[in-house]
Each structure stands twice: as C-alpha cells, then as structure tokens.
A and B are shown apart, each in its own frame.
Chain A
C-alpha cells in the first residue's frame, strides 16, 4: 500500500507535471530546431513569438468569453487557438519579409542572424507588453480538473490523491496530435520532403529546382503554429506572463541542443529530458521517500536537491554537459 501511495505521489508531483511540461518544451524546441535546420540560425525570438501568438489567442479568448461562446468543460482558448496561429503566421511572415529576407539575400553569417533575432525578440517583447501588459493574465475557463485529488481519494480509498488537471490532459493530447501531424508532414508529403532536402543539402536542393523562398515560407508557417500551440498550452497550464516566455528560451534551446539541433526527434526527446531533470531535481522527495523508506529511516528534511528558484540552472548544466561531451546532441543534429 505504501509503495502504491509512493507511486501516486510521484505521479502527482513528478510524472504528470513532467510529461505536460516536457510536451510544452518539445513543441517549443521543434520550432527552434526547424528554424535552425532550414534557415540555419538560432532563433532567439522564438520565446517571444510564443508570447505574441499566445497573446493573440488570449485576446480572442476574452472576446469569445464576452460573447458567451464556450467549449463546455474545455477551455475557450482552444477555440481561439486557430486565430492566434493565424496571427502568428502573419507576424512571422511579415518579420521575415521585413527583416530576415534582407540578411538572407546578403548571405549573412548565422551569428549575424542570431543577433538580428535578438533584436526581433526585444521588439516582440515590447509589443506584447504594450498590448497586454507585463502582468499575469488569466484566460483559463472550463473544468479545472479531469480528476481532482479528492475524487481520486474517494474513488480509491488511498491516502495520496492524484490530481489530473484538464490543462495537462489537453497539453498531452494536443502534443501527440501535433507531433504526429508534423512527422507525417515531414516524411510523407512532397512539401515536407522538400524541407528536409533543403535542410540536408542546400546547394543540391537549389540546383534541383526547389524554390528556397517557398521552403522558408512553409517553415515559418509551421513554426508559427508550433510556437502558438506551445505558448498557449504553457499559458493554460501555468499562467501567461510575457517575461516568463522570454525565460522559457533557455530550457527550449537546451532541449533542442540536447536532442541535436536540426533533428525533430531530438527536439522531442530533449524536451522531456530537460523537463524531467528540472522537475526531479527541484522536487521535494520527502513525501515519496516517507512511503518507500523503511520505518525509522524516513527523511526529516525536504530532500529537495535544489530550490525551484534554480530550475533554469538545471537546463544550463545539462546544456554544458551535452556541449562538452556530445556537441551534436543525442540524435546527431548539426554540430553547434
């Protein structure tokens, strides 16, 4: 019984939040990795692209809420998501036309594009704060729990409760659908194959008559969709605050690099590696150990390896280790 309780506590505080957070990071890292593979630079503006897309989704959500539209027990934000994606697509294609295209035609070095994307970050960030403010925004409605801790206890009679938030369920299901769709697209469709070809060998792709501008455009469209979905899921699960999205850049890049930049499979694996490292290292294990350890040996302290304030340090350390030991990442991306 104690072991079961320990497992429930572990699921409640580590497994389920880790999977949800990992899915969000994976979706974010997929966007970063696609831009790296096709446009060949590290897009620092990705965090704020997520913020912009999410902001648009929130505004439309509020509009729908004021109109009385809803999805029942699901959050209204899902209904607003396509509009947010649409906005993000226009935003990225516009940015590309105004900013990145110029540097692409100059054949600028990747490092220049990285700095350019940093500039774009600040502009996006300013716009987001200007429109929606720098504070926390709440846009979650519908049922809060698929299963609350109290229901679970009543159902099973266990001492530990297992809460499964609606947002966590939505995150996991959406991530699975999006990833399946993306992989189908990349591997089975002509458009996806032309993206892979372009990423694999740019010269040859050009000499095979693949139109580079079209590949770039498709990439931005997919990245916009991924960023908005990742951002909205994160916002629903935690909360929306523009600065948090800027901070998310670090774990997202860590995920993309751990998996191997340019490798979509790697981005997903990396997302979960980073998420679980963060969650397990900052989790206070007292409760779980209390169940598992033999009588008398239960820990007195919290058994928390690091305070949650240091969670970003975890991604940093993993990033360093990977760059030192295996710079191409777990799934052999392009070396960084």
Chain B
C-alpha cells in the first residue's frame, strides 16, 4: 500500500534517514521498532509530509506522494498521530473531533453567511459521528471536557479518535504507548485491533513496548541508523543478530535482553 524507496533525509551533515526502503501491506498492523535515534520518527515525518525528503520516493497505491503537504495527504486517507499527544487545548474533546474532517463548507467566509443551512446539516452529522467515536473509545464522559485538561493517555485515545472521524486508509501511530498506563494501553490496543478488523485500517506503529508490539503487529520492521535492518515476525526480529547488535552494541550477545 505504501512503498518507501531509498529515502534520505539529511539535517546538515546528520543523516537521520539514510536510504530507508520498505513496503507496508494493506490491512496489516506493521510495527516499527529500533533504538532511539534510529530515524523512526523522522521517517514518519517525511512520509506524512511534515518534512521534505532529501531524496527518495514515497508512493501510496502506486501514486507518488513524495513531499505532499499534510493536509493533502490527509484527504488521501493518510493520517498520523504524534509522539507527544497534540490537541486543541481550548476546545472540548467533542469539538476537537469535530475539527478533524477539514475542508468543510463552513470553513469559507462566504458560507458562514450564505450557506448556514448546509453548515448546520454538516455540523449535525459531525456531532453524531464524534459522539459515536467517543463511545467507541469509551471516553464519552469526556465529551464536554476541555482537551487541554484530560490525561496524557486519554489524549492518546483522542488522537486515535481523530483518525476515526474520516475514512482513514492508513494511520501512522508514533509511540501511542509512551507514558500511558497498562490498562489504558490495553484499551488503545483493543481499539487499534478493532479498527483494523472492522474498518480495514492499515496501521504503522512506532513503539518501544515489545509486549504491545507482539500483541498487535505483524510484520515488524526494525530500523537502525536511518535504514531498515530487518523485517519479519517479532520472534524472527528478536533472533536477528544484526538487530541485537543495533540494540546492545557488539560484544554483548545476550538475545534475551532484546526488547526487555
């Protein structure tokens, strides 16, 4: 579905992504792991249009999407979440969700005055959808809360909810589990699996929690120093010599410590 071909992103002399090539299958939940500084988030940023690649190509269903701005990728069904949850802090959770499907007719000045009926219909539909999403994520009690005031884990759920407001095709999740407690993490995991099964979402997940990766992801891609090191099931990855080296350095060959 997504094919990344020999992607480079350089910051001055630092090669954050250095010739990464990978492909993501439709309908999969692909895990992306690797030690800190392996270039995972930079790769996400380049694919999602936040950063321009230095060279290389990204295609989605055969179409070249290299370097398209985020809001255009959004309308193609490519969404991402952030490592540190983002939210519109002064708006309620429901309003946060309702903001998502951009390019509504209400966003032009003309319609604000002369298309009020159309806007009202759209807003009603959005509101119903937002409530449905909140219920799906079991946070309907937070609908009226200001998004700036909810907990970190709930913000992550809200981020996931954001992707459900449109018909996303592929969602890039950047460390959904970071700083989230076990119970909430399970809720997030359940939601991801349900979205994958029931709505055919494709996911790419950056995560350091190997239990979480093991439960959700197949295949798993391991990156190090800006390129792809290995791909396979989590067990295959764990057994891979190169991966162990990347995580623990040469000299230490204790396989059990990978992902511990």
Stretch at the interface among A185-193, A240-248, A299-307: A185-193
Q: Does A221 contact B (CB under 8 A)?
A: yes
Within 8 A of B (CB), among A168-197: 185, 189-194, 196-197
CB neighbours (8 Å) of A218 from chain B are 108-109
Q: Does A325 contact B (CB under 8 A)?
A: no
Verify A190–B104 contact, CB threshold 8 A.
yes
Verify B71–A196 contact, CB threshold 8 A.
no
CB neighbours (8 Å) of A194 from chain B are 99, 102, 107
Verify B70–A207 contact, CB threshold 8 A.
yes
Q: Does B56 contact A (CB under 8 A)?
A: no
Q: Please pick, from B69, B74, B108, B111, the residue contacting A208 in the complex, using a CB distance under 8 A.
A: B74
B127: shortest Cβ distance to chain A, in Å? 12
CB neighbours (8 Å) of A206 from chain B are 50, 69-71
A196-B90, A200-B88, A201-B86 are known contacts. Are A207 and B112 too (CB-CB below 8 A)?
no
In this complex, what residue of B is CB-closest to A222? Answer: B109
Q: Please pick, from B48, B86, B88, B106, the residue contacting A190 in the complex, using a CB distance under 8 A.
A: B106
CB neighbours (8 Å) of A190 from chain B are 104, 106-107, 112, 119, 122-123
In this complex, what residue of B is CB-closest to A201? Answer: B86
CB neighbours (8 Å) of B87 from chain A are 201, 204
Q: How large is the interface on A (under 10, 10 to 19, 20 to 34, 35 or more residues)?
A: 20 to 34
CB neighbours (8 Å) of A214 from chain B are 107-108
- In the bound assembly, the distance between CA atoms of A193 and B90 in angstroms comes to 11
CB neighbours (8 Å) of B48 from chain A are 207
Within 8 A of B (CB), among A186-230: 189-194, 196-197, 200-201, 203-212, 214, 218, 221
CB neighbours (8 Å) of A200 from chain B are 88-91
B4: shortest Cβ distance to chain A, in Å? 19
A171: shortest Cβ distance to chain B, in Å? 25
Verify B107–A211 contact, CB threshold 8 A.
yes
B170: shortest Cβ distance to chain A, in Å? 13
- In the bound assembly, the distance between CA atoms of A191 and B112 in angstroms comes to 7
In this complex, what residue of B is CB-closest to A221? Answer: B109
- In the bound assembly, the distance between CA atoms of A203 and B108 in angstroms comes to 20
A200-B88, A201-B86, A201-B88 are known contacts. Are A189 and B106 too (CB-CB below 8 A)?
yes
**Which of B's residues lie within 8 Å of A, judged by CB?**
48, 50, 69-71, 74-75, 79-80, 82, 86-91, 95, 99-104, 106-109, 111-112, 119, 122-123, 162, 166
**Which of A's residues lie within 8 Å of B, judged by CB?**
185, 189-194, 196-197, 200-201, 203-212, 214, 218, 221
